[in-house]
Amino acid sequence: MASALILTILNTIHQIIVFIGRYVYKNFVYGDRGAKVPPINNPLLLESATSLAKKIRRQEVTSVEVMTAFIERAKEINPIINCVVDERYSDALKEAEEVDKFIASGVMSEEEMEQKKPFLGVPISTKDSIQVKGMINTAGCVHRKNVVADKDAPVVANMKKAGAIFYCLTNVPELCMWFESNNEIFGRTSNPYDTFRICGGSSGGEGAIQAAAGSPFGIGSDIGGSIRMPAFFNGIFGHKTSRSIVSNEGQHPSVHNAEEEHMLGIGPMCRYACDLKPMLKLLAREEKVALLKLDEPVDIRKIKVYYQENDLGGNFVTPVDKDIQIALMKVVEYFKNDLNLEVTRTNISRTKNNIPMWLANMACKGSVPLAQQISPNPNQKINVYLELVKKIFGKSNHTLAVLLTALKAEFGVQPDTPEHKYLQEERDKTIKDFQDILKDDGIFLYPSHATVATYHTETLLRPLNFTYTSLINLLGMPSCNIPLGLGREGVPVGIQVVSNYNNDRLCLAVACELEKAFGGWVNPNP
């Protein structure tokens, strides 16, 4: 009883701090609105990757023209939002020239190109934590600033084989361990709708460049929401795949045990829902892709819809913004009234305990302490207390967010303790809760985040708000962020749709349906 009272008091104090913090950020630190990215003047920038590939195959436009358009746009927006950390523009243009020559030669028919090289000549980007041969692979860590990938990650190799041309890498938080993309090498990336606000993380630079039409599509990775949060904050589509479907090789940081492997997922990020399925087909392991049955038709009118408006009271998680609640209920009403579907409101009580369960999963046997992962010496932890002191004087190579996260981890639950065992059992019960509901024909609608994009560094006051995405990583189930326009603050809103294991096709079908119904991605400066 006493502990419950203490928690209530602490939660109340936290909410007061958050309220005061927002007032200070809005009225004294930043002001009402920041800048937007410049208007989009080239119509090629408004095409989906699938559409661009089709036009290139048919010689309606050249790969060089498309590549030039996106390179120029990336150069135009980068001084404003700081999303690109490495580029190979000259080499990408040369590869685009070779694509155009190949197509003009007639060696391969249009049908063969569509089958064997579905994204031939289309520019593609990815985050600076996934290996692209010859490009940096820092993961935002100062001690890795000179690391260059000597090979491609399997997902990169798959996209190259499909004809896509990698031309730039995008920014991430230090070690990909925060939901604002900021590090001591490249600095901070801003939201293209409002530069005073965050773009999310860890695939934050990727979300920002796509929302600003600087890239037609790209690859992200997600262990606690690192695809879906940036997709949400930037108003694009982002899909976390079912566990173990896509290879996690070729990333830094790498996984260290089965629990991390099940939670981490590489997946597609794009402005248009039509690009999700063809990308997933290519990203999935060859031996796993058949499990997804991606070509099996989905009858939207036969799915069962479940939804939950919040996490039912997780500690130190702020309430869901009204705009997000409204967006979710609009989708519920659309399914109920326009499609006449069976829609059920759920109350899965264990969702409120997700953060302790997720942290326990991140601390399983074999995990490497965060204080060691960010150390220049891979066999030794940094002194977090010393680094915090150095940070005060601007002498630390680490961000405040990662230092505080490392400090919290030191005092967190440890493997093989009774508490750890209990939380793992709770995780398994939570998985069963969802499996019992979803079965093979159900989807679950849930907020992608508690708030719309916050002001820069305001995330430090709301560190546990990633619970809405990390829950699905804990389950290992597929989930797709679906953009639903802009809210009252002028930044994107949306929700995530979740399905049972290997039923990714349900998420993708719902993404296409809701894009038609609600419009999908919104031009940040029309």
Please give the Cα distance from 176 to 250 (Å, whole number): 14
Quickly tell me which residue has 């523009």 as its tokens.
Answer: 89
Helix, strand, or coil here: 391? Answer: helix
Tell me whether residue 224 is exposed, middle or buried, using C-beta atoms within 10 angstroms of its C-beta: 0 to 12, 13 to 18, 19 or more. buried
Q: Is 109 a catalytic residue?
A: no
Q: Which of 234, 269, 237 is nearest to 452 (CA)?
A: 234
Q: Compute the distance between CA of residue 437 and CA of residue 443 in angstroms, rounded to an integer.
A: 9
Give the Cα separation of 261 and 169 in Å (integer): 24
Count Cα atoms within 13 angstroms, Cβ side, for 36. Answer: 15
- How would you write 299-322 as a 3-class SS string? CHHHCEEEECCCCCCCCCCCCCCH
Residue with tokens 């809005």: 26
Give the C-alpha separation, 324 to 459, whole Å: 18
Handedness of CA 35, 37, 40, 46 (dihedral sign): negative
Cα distance from N-terminal residue to C-terminal residue, the chain? 55
CA distance 402 to 202: 12
* Distance separating alpha carbons of residues 211 and 520, to the nearest angstrom: 11
Q: Which of 48, 63, 190, 226 is catalytic?
A: 226
Can 202 be counted among the known catalytic residues? yes
Distances from the Cα of 366 to the Cα of 230, 263, 378, 406, 414, angstroms? 29, 15, 14, 17, 11
Contacts of 36 by beta carbon, 8 Å cutoff, 6+ apart: 192, 193, 194, 195, 524, 525
Read out DSSP for 318-365?
Answer: PPPPHHHHHHHHHHHHIIIIIS---EEE---GGGGGHHHHHHHHHTST
| Catalytic status, residue 127 | yes
Say how many CA atoms lie within 13 Å of 98 toward its Cβ: 9
- State the catalytic residue, choosing from 117, 127, 160, 240: 127
Q: How far apart are CA 84 and CA 206, in angstroms?
A: 9
Choose the catalytic residue: 48, 63, 181, 202.
Answer: 202
The H-or-E segment that residue 480 falls in is strand 479-486
The Cα 450–Cα 149 span in angstroms is 36
Q: How far apart are CA 102 and CA 24, in angstroms?
A: 58
**Catalytically annotated residues:** 127, 202, 226
